[in-house]
Chain A
Amino acid sequence: MASLIACPHCGPRPKEEFTVRGDAGIIRPAPDAGEDAWYAYVYLRDNPRGRHKEHWHHTSGCRRWLIVERDTVTHAIYGVSDAAGAPSQGETA
């Protein structure tokens, strides 16, 4: 993976154009959710062997945050979508 990521807006692009943030499964708790919830949000991530969803930012492209679903063992990519659900543009490549 990451040699080429198919950005839903820009088409296949190399790793150099992206910034990886990590686990896209974590959801920001409510302000009053309590210490444990916040600790979990800030410090605990899914780290599976296999299928995993991550936040990738197309920094040198459309500047959209994407959700890349991939396999952490084979590096196969199952799908890439816009984190805010923006519809994919007629991809350019």
Chain B
Amino acid sequence: MSSFRLPKGGSIDRAKPLDFTFDGKPMQGFAGDTLASALLANGRQLVGRSFKYHRPRGILTAGAAEPNALVTIGEGGRTEANTRATLVELYSGLAAKSQNRWPSVDFDLGAVNSLLSPFLGAGFYYKTFMWPVAFWEKVYEPIIRKAAGLGRATYEPDPDSYEKWWAHCDLLVIGAGPAGLAAALTAGRAGARVILADEGFEPGGSLLSETALVGDRTAIDLLAHTLAELASLSNVRIFSRTTVFGWYDGNVFGALESVQKNTAVVDPNRPVERIWRIAAKHAILASGAEERPLVFGGNDTPGVMMAGAMRSYLNRQAIAPGKKTVIFTNDESGYRTATDLETAGLEVAAIVDARASGASSWSGRAPVFPGALVQDATGSKALTSVTVLKGGTPVTINADALAMSGGWSPIIHLACHRGAKPVWSDAKAAFLAPETLDGLTIAGSAAGVGSLEACLADGAGKATSALQALGFSSAAPAFALAADAATVAKPLWYVRGAKGKAFVDYQNDVHLKDLGLAVSEGYGHVELAKRYTTNGMATDQGKLSNINAIGILAEARKVSPADVGTTTFRPFYTPLSFGALTGASKGKHFQPVRKSPLHDWAKKNGAVFVETGLWYRSSWFPKTGETTWRESVDREVLNVRKNAGICDVSTLGKIEVFGKDAAEFLNRVYCNAFLKLPVGKARYGLMLREDGMIYDDGTTSRLSENHFFMTTTTAYAAGVMNHLEFCAQALWPDLDVQFASSTDQWAQIAVAGPKSRMILQTLVDEDISDAAFPFLGAKEVSLCGGTLTGRLFRISFSGELAYELAVPAGYGEAIADAIMEAGKPHGICPYGVEALGVMRIEKGHVTHSEINGTVIPSDLGFAKMVSATKPDFIGKAMLAREGMVADDRLSLVGVKPLDPATTFKTGSHILSDCATPSLENDQGYVSSSCYSPNLGSTIGLALVKHGPKRHGEHVTVWNDLKNEYTKAVLCSPVFFDPENGKLHG
């Protein structure tokens, strides 16, 4: 049925019918409809149920402030709950469902809450549900949670894509109504880079529903001409369907563009939503004004609507609000609605004007009742009649529609996102944004300007001054100055003596009495009242309700709204999807991937990869037939120790250090000596934090007098680089030292095992015999008969005779292949970080499992490395503190089970033998552990009180989480080849 759609009029395209469904029922609308207008056209007034009392609710507004018409649209992974029907551009195939009702929106059992309402007053839940204690989680909370909430979200992933985009402009204009258009046109003509953003699916704001003339042209005509000229200006960009949601520091604005929310068929090449970060030299906020609802009994009955919204539906979508309309107004705008209704041939039963004076001029047919009030609106699921208090006596008027206008509140939300507090103006009877805001000017009715001409002039004028400040001296206002004809009425916060519930916050069901209760219970502060009653905390964030709540609090507290003040305006202006905020960084693309130059080499050798920060590292190389990772790792370890192995260590951080003072610099950032490190030598270095804790470790080699090559751990590569730059630039700018990260330049390959020299010698042109190239040698070498130059280091993490060979990344795979080839006869195998881990634990070498930010060198047996002679190095001073020299510090030991058949895990705690488990008895913990195929037992490194003094002591390795209590013995952390015979082999 389409009786509510007038046969002619409006800007809808009747040639383009669009099919959609509501609660499964097929309906039809036209291009140019919003979901809300289409529902109205189909006679659907009752569209939702309220939060607490489940009252039937109809469409109240035509915009972002809508508290009632929240529906769920879309299916599966595209399901969107709590969607404002008033902002949804109708498209064919749209499927909408009502919310918070059971079994149906027309018959909702939840409505019994209405009968209980006396017991469900503000904050009732703070006063009860406390007994019995166990009942909260089990009984009360589940019931409350089920009742609460509005729509239901899907658990399915979102099939669509999102993105982010930066934009830069001289002037950002927020809102494309008369004020915004005038500002944009003025700036556009002056040649400034302009962005004009409006949340609507077509620009124009109130002009789109305006019937008044501007001079001699219609508003629509004015709009068309202005848009045409703006389109012709290459320096102006118009963003429709784009809501500016936040104003951030540095004059950056966040905006949400809905790109494909108006179609059922999504083009995968484009996002459905896109976030703009707009860096604007200046911005003009022309966001308009919000019409104030009036607070009277049953003001939430379906059929009651904001006067401006009713007018918008009538003029834009040719929707008749009903057959018989009553207007309840406190200012002029009610009359504009009345005029347009009568022009459209609809009956206006009465104009109830709260102002004693009544209208300045009214030439329409409808009777006007000056100084009268609507006390109650009645009707269960739709409005049937209105009780008007006229000269003190109630009269009942039958009507199926009621338009209300309590006056206007400027929309200053964004202007207050950066801490500015709104200021109450008695003259405007409204809260205004502060006059002076850096980078932002308010224009049009957002600045309290009333009439259309005045808004045009205001927008143009404000743009002119903003542009002049930006140096566009030529800027001239696009519209002439005009006086503001509009009058401002004394606000009417609520109607006394209503019988029905008089709602202030529709969506959260906060009514007049709740606010009264808040005041009498001591929650009268506007912020406390908000939190106690939840007024303004719904999805509309009180766009309609806050101002009335403030007025009501003011009266109850007998102060002015100025003294009550507003609650804090916070982003977002309207709610924002996680998807949009996330953009393209989701799923596997949550973070970028960083790949070693040997990634594909490892892959073709069958590596199993593991995420290590952003890197993927090869953890082991299973051979066919191996069923568990342990099998592979054991084999790799044994083979490296017996023959040789090759391992990708390219992810280690590598930093080239240049400069005359490079040596002096390194001497200051490492706790051990580096000044006299000879050219051609590598040295293990410990880097401390200024608080004395070990920060990172690695080997650093001197390639020439003023050129060092530093390696860091994979995890700390970036941090160490920042740290070095801080020391060089902020602490010691007088030193001549420069850094270049060369991590990605080199493929670094560890070749370890008794046969590693033999194998490498086949590739390296120079002699690398022990004599020619002893332990800790480091030099540039020529490879494969001079085809390539690399860097060779004789360093060992595995404890074997071992080398690290660095070659230009692009040749990494070729060289790795060559090494494998050369190693074949010697039984070489690739090994991963797991085997590396086993071998380093066997040797008692520490990693960040031990270097966890709370250990100092002596904790790990490095006391001797800390230079006593250096006058200064990072971390020196703090090592002297009592707590750092105290002997109860946890320090490094080895630990192994008494019975090799038993095992333990990292993270287990250490208890003295037979001690009762308690924090007091906690002796430390296992920091690393593994199965050692060489010792045929689990082994571990542990940090234990008095550790080194306790070798040989029996302890319990306590892992209560896994009910695993292992008898073990503390020992030296070096389990394998303590004399380092193999290392020097």
| B691 on interface, CB distance cutoff 8 Å | yes
Kindly provide the distance from the CB of A38 to the nearest chain B CB, expressed in whole angstroms: 4
A31 engages B722 (CB within 8 Å):
no
A42 to B418, CA, bound (A): 33
Residue in A12, A41, A55, A77 whose beta carbon sits within 8 Å of that of B726 in the complex: A55
Q: Among residues 31 to 70 in chain A, which have CB atoms less than 8 Å away from a CB atom of chain B?
A: 31, 33, 35, 38, 41-42, 55, 57, 59, 63-65
A-facing mask of B682-710, CB < 8 A → 1, else 0?
00000000110000000000000000000
Question: Which listed residue (A14, A42, A85) contacts B691, Cβ 8 A?
Answer: A42
In the complex, chain B residues whose CB is within 8 Å of the CB of A84: 728-730, 733
- Which of chain B's residues has its CB closest to A21's CB? B726
Contacts of A57 in B (CB 8 A): 722, 725-726
List CB contacts (< 8 Å) of B869-897 with chain A. 871-872, 876-878, 880-881
Closest B residue to A74 using CB positions: B419
- A2-B249 contact in complex given A31-B871, A42-B691, A57-B726, C-beta closer than 8 Å: yes
**Which residues on B sit within 8 Å (CB–CB) of A14?**
252, 277
**Other-chain residue from B250, B277, B872, B881 in contact with A1 (beta carbon distance below 8 A):** B250
Contact, CB under 8 Å: A12 / B722: no
Point out the residues of chain A lying under 8 angstroms from B418, CB to CB: 75
A28 to B880, CA, bound (A): 17
List the A side residues contacting B729 at CB < 8 Å: 64-65, 82-84
Query: Which B residue sits closest to A30, measured CB to CB?
Result: B872
Contact B877 A31 (CB under 8 A): yes
Query: With an 8 A cutoff between CB atoms, is B248 at the interface?
Result: yes
Chain A residues with Cβ under 8 A from B731's Cβ? 28
Task: Find chain B residues with CB under 8 A from A65 CB.
Answer: 725-726, 729-730
With the chains together, A57 CA to B279 CA distance in Å?
A: 22
Contacts of B725 in A (CB 8 A): 57, 63-65
> B726 contacts A3, CB within 8 Å?
no
Query: What bracket does the count of chain A residues touching chain B fall in?
Result: 20 to 34
Chain B proximity of A29: nearest CB distance (Å): 8
Closest residue of chain B to A76, judged by CB? B438
Q: Say whether, besides A4-B250, A59-B722, A63-B725, A42 and B690 are in contact (CB < 8 Å).
A: yes
Q: Are A3 and B722 in contact (CB under 8 A)?
A: no
| CB-CB under 8 A for A3 and B872, given A65-B726, A83-B730, A84-B733 | no
- A88 contacts chain B at the CB level, 8 A cutoff: no
CB distance from B721 to the nearest CB of A (A): 8
Nearest Cβ on chain A to B598's Cβ, whole angstroms? 26
Query: What's the tally of chain B residues with a CB closer than 8 Å to chain A?
Result: 28
Q: Please state if B279 and A4 are interface contacts (CB–CB under 8 Å).
A: yes
Cβ of B251: which chain A residues have Cβ within 8 Å of it?
Answer: 3-4
A21, B871: Cα distance in complex, Å: 26
Question: Which of B718, B722, B877, B880 has most chain A Cβ within 10 Å?
Answer: B877
Residue numbers in A under 8 Å from B279 (CB-CB) = 3-4, 12
Chain B nearest CB from A41 CB (Å) reads 8
- The complex places the Cα of A64 from the Cα of B418 at a distance, in Å, of 29
A22–chain B nearest beta-carbon distance, Å: 11
Complex: chain B residue closest to A75, CB-CB = B249
Q: Which residues of B sit under 8 angstroms from A1, Cβ to Cβ?
A: 249-250
Contacts A31-B871, A64-B729, A65-B729 given: A42-B252 contact, CB under 8 Å?
A: no
Expressed in whole angstroms, the minimum distance between the Cβ of A69 and any Cβ of chain B is: 15
Q: State A19–B726 Cα separation when bound (angstroms).
A: 11
Contacts of B876 in A (CB 8 A): 31
Residue of B nearest to A5 (CB): B250
B166 CB, min distance to chain A CBs, angstroms = 8
Residues of A within 8 A of B248 (CB): 3
Q: Which residues of A lie under 8 Å from residue B252 when comparing CB positions? A: 3-4, 14
Q: CA A65 – CA B732 in complex, angstroms?
A: 12
Which one of B250, B730, B877, B881 contacts A3 once the chains associate, using CB atoms below 8 Å? B250
Q: Which residue from chain B places its CB closest to the CB of A70 in the assembled complex? A: B249
Contact yes or no, A35 B880, CB < 8 A: yes
CB distance from B656 to the nearest CB of A (A): 14
In the complex, are the beta carbons of A85 and B722 less than 8 A apart? no
A55–B733 Cα distance when bound, in Å, is 14
Q: How far in angstroms is the closest Cβ of chain A from B856?
A: 14
B residues 208-237 near A (Cβ < 8 Å) are none
State how many angstroms separate the Cβ of B919 from the closest Cβ of chain A.
26
CA distance A77 to B731 in the complex (A): 24
CA distance A55 to B731 in the complex (A): 12
In the complex, the chain B residue whose C-beta lies closest to that of A27 is: B731
Query: Which residue of chain B lies nearest to A29 when distances are taken between CB atoms in the complex?
Result: B877
CB distance from B327 to the nearest CB of A (A): 46
Distance of A24 from chain B, by nearest CB (Å): 8
Residues of B close to A75: CB separation below 8 A: 249, 418
B interface residues with partner A (beta carbon < 8 Å): 248-252, 277, 279, 418-419, 438, 690-691, 718, 722, 725-726, 728-731, 733, 871-872, 876-878, 880-881
Q: Other CB < 8 Å A-B pairs besides A3-B252, A31-B871, A65-B726, 4 of them? A: A14-B277, A31-B876, A57-B726, A65-B725
Please name 8 pairs of A and B residues whose Cβ atoms are closer than 8 Å in the assembled complex, sorted by A. A1-B249, A3-B251, A3-B252, A4-B251, A35-B877, A42-B690, A57-B722, A83-B729
